[in-house]
Structure 1
Amino acid sequence: MTELQKMIESARNIVFLTGAGVSTPSGIPDYRSKSGLYTQKANPEYLLSRTCLEQEPKKFYHFVSEHMYYPSAEPNVIHKKIAAASHICQAKVITQNVDGLHLSAGTENLVEFHGNLYQVYCQKCGKQVDYREYLKNMIHYGCGGILRPNIVLYEETIAQAVLHAAIKMVSQADLLIICGTSLRVYPFAGLIRYRSSAAKIIAINREKIELPSGGSMILEDAVHAFEKLHI
């Protein structure tokens, strides 16, 4: 942690890569752990697919609305310290999370790689709709279209503008800090391939993950680790 503190203080261009483990301390379950989202239903990847949305919209809606929304969740110390770094150090953030907590914490220079659950729109007329309206009914009152959250589903691709913005951030970084992700989900995991050869990589996780040559691990609970950081 002392070495990480020194890295942060000396770095000129910090990029945080975050995943579901950043939000579990806020009460939002991750995906693949024993108590994760994917253990609550059979075939969850289908339920979060484009096919399900198009062919069985009610099934898609019930899974998303009942299992993915946590509107009372609040940013934890990890979100807050990262947000502070985005203000003080102009750090950048690329997150897999769709829960909006980085935004709630006031993070600047943020790429929500897989979108945001709280941005909802009508597939028929394109109008933006408050997520609370969506949680009451999947049908758009205005035109009768089916509403959907602006998240990337299975069988969908990352928007080119989002992908290019993330690649640019990574390629310009001199310090990459990975937190709360196993780096197994692509194309997010592939972003580190675009790093500079001089960039330092450090991951904070309770379990060891695969890192490129030269990467370092801090095997510690991320909450405890970020509590120790002075940002």
Structure 2
Amino acid sequence: MENVKKIQSAIFGVDKIVFLTGAGVSVPSGIPDYRSKGGLYTGFENPEYLLSAACLNNEPDVFYHFVKEKMYYPKAKPNAIHLKMAELERDKDVTIITQNIDGLHEKAGSKRVIDFHGNLYDCYCQKCGLHVPATSYLKSQFHDKCGGVIRPDIVLYGEGISNEVISNSILAMKKADLIVIVGTSFKVSPFCNLIEYRNHQATIFAVNKEAIRIAAPIHMIEADALQLFEKL
């Protein structure tokens, strides 16, 4: 309860909050993380290739099969972490910057979400550029209007983060009074580098099962994020 009270007190005392979220936030919703035992990459010798621009361009069938079978969890529902962050928007200026591509923050009702690595449910045709519903993509990788190959608008290995996403993320970090890192080892660049652009007056909390280290003063809470947010 002490950790809950610490975060509650920090939230109560500020106006602008940024949550930086990772795979650990969505695991309780039934979406596996990437590298842990039983995670998405288990059993694959070169999983990064399967999620690369090279695979999409050179072997679109291989890319499509992997993404369709392993990445989509349309029945997954937001858990207490997503819902609490959305709830806080009623009284606070909240921005969520997430590594996750599952769209669960949006499903929970959060309005200001920066999908740092894109969103699986935003799909478009590479030939004509038209937006395509994810439900159509899951039926066929080919656009029924022009025959082009459809892709989800996510950042693949070999691709860069858009300038707009970077600039919007940096702006949010500069304005935040409170930064809360949740469910991520915070090692993947450039996501982890966002901390360098923080408001240096901001208080920083991290909630993760394993301690993370950053080049800034931090209140580290080694705990199950779901259990903590259920009590907030």
Question: What interval of TM-score do these two structures reach, taking the shorter chain for normalisation?
Answer: over 0.9
Deviations 1:45-100 (A, max 9, x none): 11111111000111111110000000000000000000111232121110000000
Instruction: Tell me, yes or no, if structure 1 residue 211 matches structure 2 residue 225.
Output: no
- Which AA in structure 1 matches 2:128? C
Instruction: Tell me, yes or no, if structure 1 residue 77 matches structure 2 residue 80.
Output: yes
**Which of the residues 200, 204, 211 maps onto 1:201?**
204
- Counterpart in the other structure of 1:162: 165
Partner SS for 2:180? strand
- Counterpart in the other structure of 1:126: 129
**Which of the residues 5, 8, 11 maps onto 1:8?**
11
Instruction: Tell me, yes or no, if structure 1 residue 41 matches structure 2 residue 44.
Output: yes
- Counterpart in the other structure of 1:112: 115
**Which of the residues 38, 57, 60 maps onto 1:54?**
57
Partners of 2:19 and 2:50 in 1: CA distance: 29
**Which of the residues 141, 146, 167 maps onto 2:144?**
141
Instruction: Tell me, yes or no, if structure 1 residue 187 matches structure 2 residue 190.
Output: yes
- In the alignment, structure 2 segments of 5+ residues that lack a partner are none
Displacement of 1:133: 1.1
- Identity of matched residues, %: 53
- Which AA in structure 2 matches 1:202? F
Q: TM-score, normalised by structure 1?
A: 0.97
**Alignment check: 8 A CA contact 1:125 1:143 kept:** yes
Partners of 1:148 and 1:49 in 2: CA distance: 12
Partners of 1:134 and 1:119 in 2: CA distance: 10
Partner SS for 1:37? coil
- In the alignment, structure 1 segments of 5+ residues that lack a partner are none
Number of matched residues?
A: 229
- Which AA in structure 2 matches 1:180? G
RMSD, aligned α-carbons: 0.9
